[in-house]
């Protein structure tokens, strides 16, 4: 899969409470969740995010609550890919399960800046910062995880008889 978009950048330990505050968890409507995405740390996010934008963040992205509403809100806001130094494990599973593209790449997470234009080719494990001209290599997903992604998420994998 290939993704191209402008970067919106955050720091380390972005938790799922700030991705989507619990006061909005009385709904599971995707558009409604997206309308409050990131608001406790970045009120401007919902207004400036554009379809296809790429979110870049530091270590331990998505830590805290297991709420799947968090990757849902990010995906529904238009973000096409999240690049982070590392992901908290429940968020990592949830993103794969619902089909939000994510990739771990500490060097890219560190060097890419807010507003840069980035192109990511996950099949070949390459991230290019088109603004700075720098290129980064990423590790491929384990085959098992790749299968879930190829089948369009966990539920579809079950329907397709992968398990």
Partner 1 sequence: MAMTMTQKILAAHSGKESVSAGELILADLDLVLGNDITSPVAIKEFRKLGKNSVFDKNKVTMVMDHFAPNKDIKAAEQCKMCRDFCNENDVTHFYDVGEMGIEHALLPEKGLVTAGNVVIGADSHTCTYGALGAFSTGVGSTDMACGMATGKAWFKVPSAIKFNLTGCLRRYVSGKDVILHIIGKIGVDGALYRSMEFTGEGLSSLTMADRLCIANMAIEAGAKNGIFEVDDITLNYIREHGGEEPVIYKADPDAEYDEVIEIDLSAIEPTVAFPHLPENARTFSEIGDVKIDQVVIGSCTNGRLEDLIAAAEIMKGHKCAKNVRVIVIPATQQIYLDAMEMGLIRTFIECGAVVSTPTCGPCLGGYMGILAAGERAVATTNRNFVGRMGHPESEVYLASPATAAASAVTGRITSPWEVMGV
Q: Which residues bind partner 1 (CB under 8 A)?
A: 13, 15, 17-18, 21-23, 25-28, 40-41, 59-60, 63-69, 71-72, 86, 88-90, 93-94, 97-98, 142, 144-145, 153-155, 158-159, 163
Give the C-alpha distances (Å, rounded to integers) separating 115 from 73, 91, 92. 21, 24, 24
Distance (Å, whole) CA 110 – CA 84: 9
Residue 3, both tokens: 């993704």
Question: What's the min distance (Å) between Cβ of 132 and partner 1?
Answer: 27
Residue 118: partners with Cβ closer than 8 Å, 6 or more residues away: 3, 4, 5, 6, 7, 54, 56, 83, 112, 127, 128, 129, 130, 131
Question: What's the min distance (Å) between Cβ of 68 and partner 1?
Answer: 4
Q: Whose Cβ is closer to partner 1: residue 19's or residue 118's?
A: 19
Question: What's the min distance (Å) between Cβ of 83 and partner 1?
Answer: 17
Q: Whose Cβ is closer to partner 1: residue 95's or residue 127's?
A: 95
Question: What's the min distance (Å) between Cβ of 4 and partner 1?
Answer: 27
Distance (Å, whole) CA 26 – CA 163: 32
Q: Whose Cβ is closer to partner 1: residue 81's or residue 148's?
A: 148
Q: Whose Cβ is closer to partner 1: residue 107's or residue 126's?
A: 107
Question: What's the min distance (Å) between Cβ of 56 and partner 1?
Answer: 17
Q: Whose Cβ is closer to partner 1: residue 23's or residue 133's?
A: 23
Of the candidates 114, 2, 4, the one whose C-alpha atom is nearest the C-alpha of residue 52 is 4
CB distance 89 to 62 below 8 Å: no
């Amino acid at each position: 899969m290939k993704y191209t978009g402008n970067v919106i950048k955050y720091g380390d330990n972005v938790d799922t409470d700030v991705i989507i505050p619990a006061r909005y968890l009385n709904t599971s409507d995707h558009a409604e969740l997206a309308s409050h995405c990131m608001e406790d740390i970045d009120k401007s996010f919902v207004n400036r995010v554009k379809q296809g934008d790429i979110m870049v963040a530091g270590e331990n992205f998505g830590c805290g609550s297991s709420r799947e509403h968090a990757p849902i809100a990010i995906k529904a806001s238009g973000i096409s890919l999240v690049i982070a130094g590392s992901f908290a494990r429940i968020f990592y599973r949830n993103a794969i399960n619902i089909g939000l593209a994510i990739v771990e790449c500490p060097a890219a997470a560190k060097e890419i800046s807010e507003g840069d234009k980035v192109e990511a080719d996950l099949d070949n494990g390459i991230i290019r910062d088109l603004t700075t001209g720098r290129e980064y290599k990423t590790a491929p997903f384990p085959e098992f995880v790749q299968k879930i992604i190829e089948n369009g998420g966990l539920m579809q994998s079950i329907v397709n008889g992968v398990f």
